[in-house]
Chain A
């Protein structure tokens, strides 16, 4: 136990330091958000304190038989100031706060996103990166807000506490002590229950996760077919019942512990309340020299609730900084991840040769390293059509990612016009390359924006861009579909934002993705399984288009269908991360190795069929 405590201390300090860092950022985003929160806290803290003073004066006035006019004035003054404060409070909550939050949210997440898109792709292969960062970055938002608004709340509670305790101590020091003591006790108890609920939460989270998954399966239309044609729904229902049982067991097990603490909590609360009341009564009735008056009694009774509750809130508020810190530390850590893939300063010339020299690539992973490519040598010259073929998992896709510098080689290098890729300006280099990935994504934007890969320019340039977009879509054989669209290239894709957004079929989406590559007018076009979702006719047309339009371009394509690779200038055959055969189709067929085997296998039925 003591050991655990010792370990805890330095971590807490780290959390506070993180909090301070976050405060500085928030100050940078919007200093007024910070300033107004402090002022608001002071104002809201003064109000209940003033309320206690008011109560005391009012009842003392009643007891002393003060002139009615004076009491009336007291009531009116207090009530009108109450009105003003509450009006200000409303304005702050309803008008100002939401707008401040909006600003902070946008600025913070813009920075996070901008940083995220600069980090290395390799990070995304690491599941820990996801669990650690993505999850916490998304969950950090309430903590960021609470860091400021909680501080405002803390200030408010502190003001009330200080003034309030002073007022009560003036009436009866003993009562002030009891109130404080009961508050402190309760802080300890709630600390225990907090720890308990945190533990419970940890136990429950995986169970909830499973439940959410089941619901997600049901609410994702993609799964609807499987749910109907198989009996998997029975398994899901069983799973759901199982989660309920676990949750119930958990709730009772923890319920017993909570019950103990809750009861202790109420015991202290009730005893303190009654004790305060009885002590005040006793002093008022039997100890005249204590000076406790009706006003004092009223203040004491009213304060039981407000003050001890505030003390508890303060405790909670202070503890929250630790929690905030944990999340903020994740943000700090995230920003401190420096991309390993950084560009050089050399600007690219048009591609002449691309050489892969003795290249190896190893995916770092938890379970051990996975060698994806091993001692690969290749040469690609301007204008060549290069095919990369091989079994699933042969390392073909990894190679294309290396060509774009989404990864850097573990060993060996890739040279562009004789110079290492790493010496070139990254953005400039990538602008020379256009890629269509196997798992390409369509964005929730218009067709044109998807093809351009960003926003279209205004005015004349925009018109020019639009022409090129249509041109690119025509080359990727999307023109037929385009002609049927009312809004043409301004058609919004996906139902993300608009219920009538266009849902493209797999083949159509692939064509839009391919148009991206055409639009970019890059020197090197990389196509990873460009025709996997296309039917034979569409595939045939697309291949034709590729060869026609990409005449002077260098094209590297990966395909399972060896018919599409046949006319490549050179074919590289990969197996288990190694380059095993290379040469033209004729050479490889003559070699009668793996390529020839694979080709013949696919060709068999076609040959016998004609």
Chain B
């Protein structure tokens, strides 16, 4: 209960911080509109009909009516202006506040969180709630207020006629357990259906996406998917049939006790008092019939509103759990040294979900200005190593830079030192220039960016397609630039050239490049990065030859290290791998390979 109040207050505080006037104004409008609505729809009728009963003239009533019309219209006008000119704008502002809060926190939490399905789920849910949940809380408060105002007015009206009718208005409350059960039933059903819907959605995602189009034409997958869809649909039908019966019974119960029975009792009693006993006027009779059921309606509504608070609290809980999570990768306050080597001392790292360490007892040095190649089979842990350097994960053991543990630096500052192109890099649907800077543009940076694009060999293509401001991907602009895999890789690599780096990390930077482009990329890269450290992972060992030092990772350990010549002389795994790749490139077909 306390948590419910706290969570709802949490959101109200956010609204308050965006605009302190929003909450009081919203509540004032609620009172204004509900009160005038009551006066116009209910009170006036009673007044008029009773006046008729008392034999008053038409004009007595007319003045009253004109007063009410004027009241109602002015309330409507004010309310309207409030919603259209004031509220909507603030609603966006509040949504932004919450969204940015979540974004900023998402930037901070460590990468491992994305691999934790539970945490990730929380994050997605939190973001799903960000737009509206805060305003939902306010709606809720306003809803309760509306109920209270309406209830006070209706109850006093009915009580003034004859308090016994209030008892009839209470009858529908017996349906509360039925409704709770009904709502739970609907919720359960929805949950079950939603699980299937996720399955039903899969064919939509497959058939309508160009990526799958080729496979769908060449395999029997379409038949499989259609059958699959049919099965899912049958399951849904069964769920509806199975759960529908109980829900119908509950709903009928609600109709009988929540509506029909109390209406019959109220009507019969009111008619009895009016016709037989003559204790009530027509106006009273009319008002009682119209208002008694409204009271029970409002009572039930207010219960729903209270339920909504609980609902809100559940969602807000998820959001707060996300926002209050303390990131494990934390900032230190040590200043970055002017320069130095990055050294790994006995580093061991295990992914949370893994059963064995990915890297074990790794010690290695990345010298300032050195070119280091990391080679090894798929899954050897090469990319993980890079992630440790970038502090996407923290590992056991110690990594130091210029002798200082990297955990004692500010994370942002530390990462800014690097330019990294990952194996599975992504372009963003922003301008070409922003894809290069990958940060806010600086004044007058065009030249620098253009130069970077030229260095990576993608400038000509972009120049034809709109230059620096060309929108990447067709996400927003139907005329956006679509790049092939190789071209995208070049654009990603341009980032390295556009920035002042102490270290450059390239994880399989040439996988989609053709041989010539690959050759040029390495040449340009090593030229451009003459004064910074370069760490590159490559399967093509021809590039490893260019390195000052090669580390061969095998099964999470540094199995071999040294220059190319040393490793070839050592005649170990590296030499074997190299020869396998090199044999087909040899001038003579010496040994006649069996391949």
Contact = CB atoms under 8 A, between A and B. Distances in A.
B21 interface: no
B427 to A, nearest CB: 9
Interface in A213-269: 213-215, 217-219, 221-241, 244, 247-248, 251-252, 255-256, 258-259, 262-263, 266-267
Contacts of A390: 514
B17 to A, nearest CB: 16
Contacts of A79: 260, 263-264
For the complex of A and B, the 6 pairs showing the least CB-CB separation, nearest first, are A453-B219, A454-B220, A255-B84, A231-B439, A95-B244, A603-B585
Interface in A77-134: 79, 82-83, 86-87, 90-91, 94-95, 98-99, 102-103, 105-106, 109-110, 112-114, 116-117, 121, 124-125, 127, 130-131, 134
Contact of A65 (B88, B248, B275): B275
A221 B219 CA distance: 30
A391 interface: yes
B97 to A, nearest CB: 9
Contacts of A68: 271-272, 275-276
A137 interface: yes
Contact of A75 (B225, B267, B387): B267
A228 B578 contact: no
A200 to B, nearest CB: 11
A470 B424 CA distance: 30
A163 interface: no
Nearest to B236: A102
Most chain B CB neighbours (cut-off 10 Å) among A224, A228, A401, A610: A228
A228 B111 contact: yes
B487 interface: yes
Contacts, number: 420
Nearest to B91: A251
A127 B62 CA distance: 65
A295 to B, nearest CB: 10
Given A79-B263, A229-B390, A610-B578, A213 B587 contact: no
A237 B100 contact: yes
A59 to B, nearest CB: 7
B88 A90 contact: no
A66 B272 CA distance: 11
Contact of B92 (A82, A244, A440): A244
Interface stretch (B73-81, B162-170, B337-345, B360-368): B73-81
B233 A75 contact: no
Given A117-B216, A391-B516, A441-B211, 5 more contacts: A137-B208, A277-B45, A406-B217, A441-B215, A534-B378
B585 A127 contact: no
B237 interface: yes
A532 interface: yes
Nearest to A608: B545
A369 interface: no
Most chain A CB neighbours (cut-off 10 Å) among B215, B223, B593: B215
A441 B212 contact: yes
Given A516-B219, A547-B595, A274 B438 contact: no
Interface stretch (A6-14, A153-161, A537-545): A537-545
B463 interface: no
A103 B204 CA distance: 16
Counting contact residues on chain B (CB < 8 A from A), the size range is 35 or more
Contact of A232 (B230, B416, B428): B428
Interface in B570-595: 577-587, 593-595
Most chain A CB neighbours (cut-off 10 Å) among B428, B430, B495, B586: B428
B248 A138 contact: no
B117 A499 contact: yes
Contacts of A598: 515-516
Contacts of B151: none
A75 B271 contact: yes
A248 B92 contact: yes
Contacts of A547: 595
A385 to B, nearest CB: 11
A241 B45 contact: no
A535 B568 CA distance: 19
Contacts of A210: 476
Given A240-B100, A281-B58, A59 B595 contact: no
A271 interface: yes
A354 interface: no
A497 B218 contact: no
A271 B260 contact: no
Interface residues of A, number: 162
22 contacts: A61-B271, A65-B275, A98-B236, A137-B208, A213-B429, A213-B476, A224-B111, A226-B422, A229-B415, A231-B439, A252-B85, A274-B65, A277-B45, A281-B48, A282-B58, A298-B286, A401-B214, A497-B202, A537-B580, A539-B539, A602-B515, A606-B578
Interface stretch (B173-181, B250-258, B293-301): B250-258
Most chain A CB neighbours (cut-off 10 Å) among B61, B259, B267: B267
A237 B102 CA distance: 11
Nearest to B263: A79
Interface in B257-280: 259-260, 263-264, 267-268, 271-272, 274-276
A429 to B, nearest CB: 11
Most chain B CB neighbours (cut-off 10 Å) among A83, A267, A282, A562: A83
Contacts of B264: 75-76, 79
A357 interface: no
Interface in B345-362: none
A430 interface: yes
A288 interface: no
A210 B471 CA distance: 12
Interface in A506-558: 507, 516, 532-540, 543-544, 547
Most chain A CB neighbours (cut-off 10 Å) among B208, B226, B568: B208
Nearest to B193: A98
A392 B484 contact: yes
A589 B437 CA distance: 42
B30 to A, nearest CB: 17
A112 B208 CA distance: 10
Contact of B582 (A105, A226, A274, A606): A606
B558 to A, nearest CB: 17
A223 B425 CA distance: 8
Given A267-B73, A564-B584, A127 B478 contact: yes
A341 B545 CA distance: 49
B439 A235 contact: yes
Nearest to B441: A235
Contacts of B152: none
A131 to B, nearest CB: 7
A607 interface: yes
